[in-house]
Structure 1
Amino acid sequence: MVAEVESGSRNAAGFAGKVILSVAFIWSCFQIYIASSIPFILAEKTGLNFVFNSQEARQIHLAFAIILAMLAYPLLKTSPRDRVPLYDWALAIVGASSCLYLLYFKIDIDARAGLPTAADLVFSTIGMISLAIAVFRALGLPLVIVASVFVFYVFFGHLSIMPEAIMWKGASFSKAMWHYWMQTEGVFGVALGVSSSMIFLFVLFGSLLEKAGAGSYFIKLAFALLGHLRGGPAKAAVVASALSGLYSGSSIANVVTTGTFTIPLMKRTGFKPEKAGAVEVASSTNGQLTPPVMGAAAFLISEFTGISYPELIKHAFLPAVISYIALVYIVHLEALKLGLEGLPRPSRIGTLASRLANVLFGFIFVGVIAIAVYYVLGWVKVAFPGMGMVSASLMFLVAYLVLLSAASRHPDLEPDDPNAPIKMLPRPWDVAITGFHFILPIVILIWCILIERLSPTLSAYWATMAMIFIVLTQHPLKRMMRGQGLFTEDFKRGWADFLEGMIAGARNMIGIGVATGAAGVIVGTVSLTGLHQVVGEFVEFLSGGSLMLMLLLVAVMSLLLGMGLPTTANYIVVSSLMAPVIVSVGASQGLIVPLIAVHLFVFYFGILADDTPPVGLAAFAAAAISGGDPIRTGVQGFAYDIRTALLPFMFLFNTELLLIDVGPFKAVFIFVVAVVAMMLFAAATQGYFFTRNRIWETAALLLIAFTLFRPGFWLDLVQPPFDERPGSSVVQMAGDMPENGDIRFVVSGPDFDTGKIYTKTLLVPLGVPGDGAERLQRSGINVMVEDGKALLEEPFPGTTYFQTLSDYDFYGDTPVEISLVELDAERMYKEIFYIPALLLLTLVVMMQRRRQTVPAF
């Protein structure tokens, strides 16, 4: 199932099989090549051009993806699996040629910009058809249908059969083909650029990490740490899936990788097949929430929002951790309901004091290492600017040899039979010591991104190179350290793992490569037709202007599209159409919604679609292992994921959960409160806390969770959040604001299309101190105070607020003005509402403890 979905179900032998493997390996080598400094070194040494710019890299990237899609995925269910028919060879050649045509004739194409020749139109048409066939093979019919609807709208949007609300003038064939294929507004747009520059290397890194043995290591480590607890195998499945999510972008592959081991063990400890599969599904789909990869969408979110990748990781980290902790708690509640026990573990050794001392020493040891790495490498950067990479490489080598030497003193981890009885869990340290060296490349990746502030591409490149070094050397070095003599076979094993990792990485990218190309068709349609404004108006009409109802509609849209589209394509479609609308409607209702919160909202619901019946492929994969019913598995998995559905609504209205403008100490406080709130929400939705809930207890837990998540809601009911000042005071207020302060005001004026008066709230950053009018002007707001009114002038094209205010009619009889200035009111702390919430929680706990029959832990 994984092969059919992720990397192609054709297992061709002979020449065809060698071609597929060779093309996949060459694709991986090409991606490493363009990410390295080798092209620039070769160009400098030889005087020849070995450098591929972003547009050229996209063209070659898609050519590789189309070739492999045609060869590795059969066209139809009846097509042969053991050989490649002639028509597939022809389709692969034609599809790749349509991409490479742009590369070969790039100078001529640039010279005739916007004026395609007959050859341009022929190759563009062939390219679009080839892409559609590749998408159909790799991802199925749904994405082809969605993209075709958008193409149909471009050509026939002017026909009378179209609803008047979405009609447009239409486009000629030559204009549309040029837009879609010959420039970077369509297929070869931002999405494909992110796939070719960032996503591939992260997927390749994960593939090499898996082939090196890290997947098995993480599973065994999770079991050693958690297997002795109630529902231990299920808790271990959650943690193992979270660790796999660090490098895996696929929920289906995550299900099979960890589920093959965890699901049978969950069943043996008392979980029903559907619940065992559902735990694995919920764990694996949530793996796509885990930075740094986030199902390959992290890089797209960063690109579309303009937020740096390190900042995005910071915003996405807390919700992902909260979601996983809550899932572990849900598993714990299920184990309490079933009265399950943990797996046997070795007897504890030593007194309580000695065990506490060991734990304390462990924390101190890890902290000392972290501080040493941070400051030593930082000192190397300052003392030897030109030697930083060399020194860091030497430190990596020393750390690698030390950790590998420690691992060599213990036997290698062997695959276990999940159906065999477990007489005793291994000691956590005995498992952990065998694979600490797998963590080094992950440390390098995070170090490069967060400390060195390298680009995601370059960071993934260095992490991948470190991983390749480990894959090639770990087995022969271990044999040498153990004094076991010749290690020829271990060298061969390392090379085999390397080749398999490179090939698997490329094959796992086939679907993502063609999906981002198809998503470019949708984004290109939006940019050509302005469709997002039309769809936005339609959804706004359906919601009656209610932001909450609109969010529910967007969530449902994401879930429905996600049933047929991969997460990445689903995110691109919905965010392109709806993200600006949510921001605009929020502003009209006085809610300033950060763009990153909106994009994460869409992304979260796209992920939830992976286990949404009736077509959640992750649920089908889990059911194939558990022997349960796939629909019931999907329904149960979605029930476990309700807590994940709550988070996007919470962080839209309480952006502190995304650590926006939050200091480190407050971040810790927010984390603790949010974890407690999410666990209470989980207890309410599962109907079990210390014992089975009564109806009023469930309602009370929901109320407490809501209060902990959003205490500001109750404060707004008691005290207004803003002191209102007349709009005419905006210039004076702007002048009084401190350096880098923000001013919040309400814009009122006639709608450009309807002429009706409507309002929009803006939060404008003011920068350095100075005259109020000048500070506003520098921010892109031109104000003129006349007759006690602050009249707003139309922003210039290209300025910050040109698009934001483009729906106002600045030349009508009614002027556009700043009607109100809103200053933060001095109010009591919103956290005061935690007190009644905690008192109510105490009452619920006391009432449940009287009925409790099973220990809570």
Structure 2
Amino acid sequence: MTSRSTADQPRASAFPPDAAPGAAAEEKAEDVLREHDISSRFRTELGWWGWLVGGISIVFTAYHLFAAFTRPFNFWEHMTLHVAGALALVFLLYPASKRLLRVPEGRPNALTILAGRHRGVPWYDVLLAGASLYCCLYVFWTNQNLREGPPSFGIYSDWDIAVASIGLLLVLEATRRCVGIPIVVVAGAAIAYALFATNDVMPGDWGHRGQDWSEFATGMFLNSGQGVWGTPIRVSSEFIFLFLFFAVVLLRTNIGQFFNDLAFRAAGRFSGGPAKAAVAASGLQGMVSGSSVANTVASGSFTIPIMKKAGFKPHVAAATEATASTGGQMVPPIMGAAAFIMAQNVSGIEYNELVVIAIIPAALYFTGAFLSVHFEAKRNELKGIAPDQLPGWKSILTRIDMLLPLVVIISTLLGGSSAMRAALYGIGTALAISLLRAIVQHMVPVIASATKEGKSPVTETGKMVLALFYVVIQMLIAGARTALPVVAACAAAGIVAGTVTTTGLGGQLGRGLVDLAGGNFLLVLVMVMIACIILGMGLPTTANYVVTATVAAPILITHFEVEPIAAHMFVFFFGILADVTPPVCLAAFAGAGIAGANPMRAGVTALRIAIAGFLIPYAFILEPSLLLQGTFTEMLLPLLTVILGMIAVSSGLAGYLIAHGTAVDRVLLVVGGVMLIYPDVMISGIGLGVVAAGIAIQVGLRARGHKADMDSGEALNLEIPEAPEATK
């Protein structure tokens, strides 16, 4: 018998009970997720209602798959069915408040039933679900008369106005329940502006001609192309849902564990290996996840205990995971599902082109994160993991087929096919791989064992088929549930976008911001950055991008003639970075909950680790060649100076390059690094000199014995648990 390497042999986990990702850790992760991610606060005590909700969820997902193949309705009718199913499921699954998730023990009485404090779905939520279906289906039924919009105001009946009014309120309430207050506040402010900020009320040019409620409601709910039925919902119904379902199918193949093992095998043995592996694993998993908070909890329940055991302080472990998971929203091809809307917003850029354009900014972001954790590890003399304690290459290579669905999607997109076709191919590939794995790893051994023991192989095969059918059903249900917050957020964001467009608010904001900055381009960029971070706080990725792109991107495009793709990527980056920017840094708070760290300290540390993300957008605004808007030679020098600048800034903030730094060399490295990132030959040259001065001080400190003794001692004896045998 041939021998195996130690790394490829089965081993018991070396985790202590408080660090191992077991049942207790999973329960803690679930609590943290519900605390920081509103979309996870759905009812679990459904009783017999669970059958109805599950059935609707299955039909909802199956319809979208069917529609992608057959196109049974026009896009307008398809959107109404998309929103109808989503709103109904939101009211059936999400309670009106968090406290209603706690169901009292014992049999319900009249008061608890009236208040909705019982298992199942309260009567008033059933009414709201029914009203949602009616309002959306009303639009579906009357679309032949309404979809092109009325030739003049006054064509709508009183009943049309009533349906539109109720429909808008239901959209906002559904969004509040499954997305949160921030987007509803933004939408409410937009509605208030549309109704009350008339020319005779607002000073200067800040007013508009005015709208009454009936005009506003019908415009936002009964007209196609704007409001609820604008670009966000159209893209959600055609593309985003399919890619979210693809992510569900992919994650059900246990690809998250595969990403963890691959990342730890590749990076775990280096200094600070657990944190570097966490950055890589969380970035990969975030690539197919639509929420930085959910990804922080899902990945962090595995990576944060390992980082803590490796010597990273709890707040650093939490910040590292939050930074990586947030960055995953920037990684193509999905980009937190915002890429599809961006491709619609930026004229002249197809989705498959956008996927390629986003590669360099995403790569630079994660390069910066790697550098930050590297210098953090060096400063604190943190070792890597002993090679024989890492997942074995054999175990990883036997699961390499898990990457095939991603390869199929990317190759299909680069081949020029539509995003919808790429998603369908990816879903089909992921399902086929799951089926083949189940047959090879479970069905064949069970049939062989049954035959050997004299049992009927037909019976055992039937059991396995039923088990596979159950898994597929669970995927369909999970697909619908995953999409609900995105659909609601897109509908609410459409109201914001529609209001900004119809009232001219976007142009007024742009002129006001430019006047406030005195026409200074860099100052306007800083103001737009701050605005995007504020607007992005607490919003999911899709709504985040829609709001920032509607409000902020036109300022850069209209007043400074910035390349549209650069402007949209700029606002997209900073909207996403709200999740690691205090005071409302939800991803960092979620990581702190897993790590048992101070939330605000974790947020400040995440801001430092993610510093590259705050510098890169300025680089590609000032040098669009970094977004492939030019030749390779035009891009090469700016790319090199940006990387050198990130090394300098990351080391300066961490306080270590080749030795423990002083205040002087740290300031020189940070200031010089920022100047290097600025794409101007003279400024970059001065920055290079400033960085050289900082390095010279570091060399002197090292020569005088300030270097940490990082090469002494043994590597960490920290064993990484491999995936269960069923997933290999």
Contact 2:379 2:655 in 1 (8 A): no
Contact 1:188 1:517 in 2 (8 A): yes
SS for the counterpart of 1:460 is helix
Q: Distance in 2 between matches of 1:239 and 1:612?
A: 21
Which position in structure 2 is the counterpart of 1:151?
191
Matches within 5 A, 1:656-695: 656-663=625-632, 671-695=639-663
Matches within 5 A, 1:726-741: none
Per-residue Cα deviation, 1:532-560 (whole angstroms, up to 9, x for no partner): 11111221222121111111111111112
When residues 595 and 140 of structure 1 are mapped into structure 2, their CA distance, relative to the original with a 3 A threshold, is same
Contact 1:475 1:493 in 2 (8 A): no
Q: Distance in 2 between matches of 1:565 and 1:62?
A: 19
Q: Distance in 2 between matches of 1:595 and 1:238?
A: 30
2:308 matched to 1:267?
Answer: yes
Shift of 1:576: 1.2
Q: Distance in 2 between matches of 1:100 and 1:712?
A: 56
Report which of the two has the higher share of helix.
Answer: 2
Q: Distance in 2 between matches of 1:568 and 1:713?
A: 37
Per-residue Cα deviation, 1:154-205 (whole angstroms, up to 9, x for no partner): 1212275534441111013332222101112111000111111111111111
2:400 matched to 1:547?
Answer: no
Per-residue Cα deviation, 1:87-123 (whole angstroms, up to 9, x for no partner): 0010001012111111112223358725212221111
Which position in structure 1 is the counterpart of 2:139?
102
Q: Distance in 1 between matches of 2:664 and 2:332?
A: 38
When residues 844 and 586 of structure 1 are mapped into structure 2, their CA distance, relative to the original with a 3 A threshold, is farther
2:682 matched to 1:642?
Answer: no
Which position in structure 1 is the counterpart of 2:78?
57
Of the three residues 556, 564, 587, the one matched with 1:582 is 556
Q: Distance in 2 between matches of 1:845 and 1:492?
A: 65
SS for the counterpart of 2:358 is helix
When residues 221 and 105 of structure 1 are mapped into structure 2, their CA distance, relative to the original with a 3 A threshold, is same
Shift of 1:299: 1.1
Q: Distance in 2 between matches of 1:299 and 1:551?
A: 25
SS for the counterpart of 2:220 is helix
Q: Compare 295-304 and 220-229 and name the one that shifted more.
A: 220-229
Matches within 5 A, 1:128-139: 128-139=168-179
Which position in structure 1 is the counterpart of 2:472?
498
Structure having the higher Rg: 1
When residues 127 and 460 of structure 1 are mapped into structure 2, their CA distance, relative to the original with a 3 A threshold, is same
SS for the counterpart of 1:230 is coil
Q: Distance in 2 between matches of 1:840 and 1:24?
A: 62
2:47 matched to 1:14?
Answer: yes
Matches within 5 A, 1:678-757: 678-714=646-682
Q: Distance in 2 between matches of 1:842 and 1:274?
A: 29
2:329 matched to 1:288?
Answer: yes
Shift of 1:12: 3.0
Of the three residues 136, 146, 150, the one matched with 1:113 is 150
Matches within 5 A, 1:150-189: 150-158=190-198, 160-184=200-224, 185-189=226-230
2:369 matched to 1:327?
Answer: yes
Of the three residues 699, 711, 714, the one matched with 1:846 is 699
Shift of 1:666: 6.4
Per-residue Cα deviation, 1:216-274 (whole angstroms, up to 9, x for no partner): 11112212222222222111110001111221121112111211111111111111111
2:401 matched to 1:467?
Answer: no
Identity %: 33
Which position in structure 2 is the counterpart of 1:2?
33
Q: Distance in 2 between matches of 1:584 and 1:158?
A: 24
SS for the counterpart of 2:176 is helix
Shift of 1:845: 5.6
Q: Distance in 2 between matches of 1:70 and 1:101?
A: 19
Shift of 1:703: 4.8
When residues 457 and 547 of structure 1 are mapped into structure 2, their CA distance, relative to the original with a 3 A threshold, is same
Which position in structure 1 is the counterpart of 2:87?
66
Which position in structure 2 is the counterpart of 1:404?
none
When residues 265 and 484 of structure 1 are mapped into structure 2, their CA distance, relative to the original with a 3 A threshold, is farther
Which position in structure 1 is the counterpart of 2:166?
126
Contact 2:672 2:686 in 1 (8 A): no
Shift of 1:80: 4.7
Q: Distance in 2 between matches of 1:78 and 1:2?
A: 16
Q: Distance in 2 between matches of 1:848 and 1:457?
A: 57
2:396 matched to 1:432?
Answer: yes
Contact 1:224 1:431 in 2 (8 A): no
Structure 2: which 5+ runs fail to align? 1-31, 103-118, 450-456, 712-728
Which position in structure 2 is the counterpart of 1:520?
494
Which position in structure 1 is the counterpart of 2:57?
24
Q: Compare 105-114 and 431-440 and name the one that shifted more.
A: 105-114
Aligned residues: 645
Contact 1:471 1:497 in 2 (8 A): no
Q: What letter matches 2:268 in structure 1?
A: G
Of the three residues 432, 439, 447, the one matched with 1:476 is 439
Per-residue Cα deviation, 1:742-792 (whole angstroms, up to 9, x for no partner): xxxxxxxxxxxxxxxxxxxxxxxxxxxxxxxxxxxxxxxxxxxxxxxxxxx
Shift of 1:78: 3.2
- RMSD after superposition: 2.4
Shift of 1:704: 4.2
Contact 2:668 2:691 in 1 (8 A): no
When residues 80 and 246 of structure 1 are mapped into structure 2, their CA distance, relative to the original with a 3 A threshold, is closer
Which position in structure 2 is the counterpart of 1:565?
539
Higher relative contact order (CA 8 A, sep 6+): 2
Shift of 1:844: 5.2
Q: Distance in 2 between matches of 1:220 and 1:6?
A: 28
Shift of 1:835: 7.7
Contact 1:476 1:491 in 2 (8 A): no
Contact 1:186 1:520 in 2 (8 A): yes
Q: Distance in 1 between matches of 2:148 and 2:403?
A: 50
Per-residue Cα deviation, 1:501-546 (whole angstroms, up to 9, x for no partner): 2222221111110111011111111221111111112212221211
Q: Distance in 2 between matches of 1:22 and 1:848?
A: 68
When residues 474 and 507 of structure 1 are mapped into structure 2, their CA distance, relative to the original with a 3 A threshold, is same
Which position in structure 2 is the counterpart of 1:87?
124
SS for the counterpart of 1:509 is helix
Contact 1:471 1:494 in 2 (8 A): no
Contact 2:532 2:552 in 1 (8 A): no
- TM-score norm. by structure 1 comes to 0.72
Contact 1:211 1:500 in 2 (8 A): no
Q: Distance in 1 between matches of 2:605 and 2:378?
A: 17
Report which of the two has the higher share of strand.
Answer: 1
Q: What letter matches 1:255 in structure 2?
A: T
Structure 1: which 5+ runs fail to align? 40-50, 347-423, 588-592, 716-830
Which position in structure 1 is the counterpart of 2:9?
none
Per-residue Cα deviation, 1:552-602 (whole angstroms, up to 9, x for no partner): 111111112222332322322222122222223324xxxxx2111111111
- TM-score norm. by structure 2 comes to 0.84
Which position in structure 2 is the counterpart of 1:253?
294
Shift of 1:59: 0.9
Contact 2:318 2:595 in 1 (8 A): yes
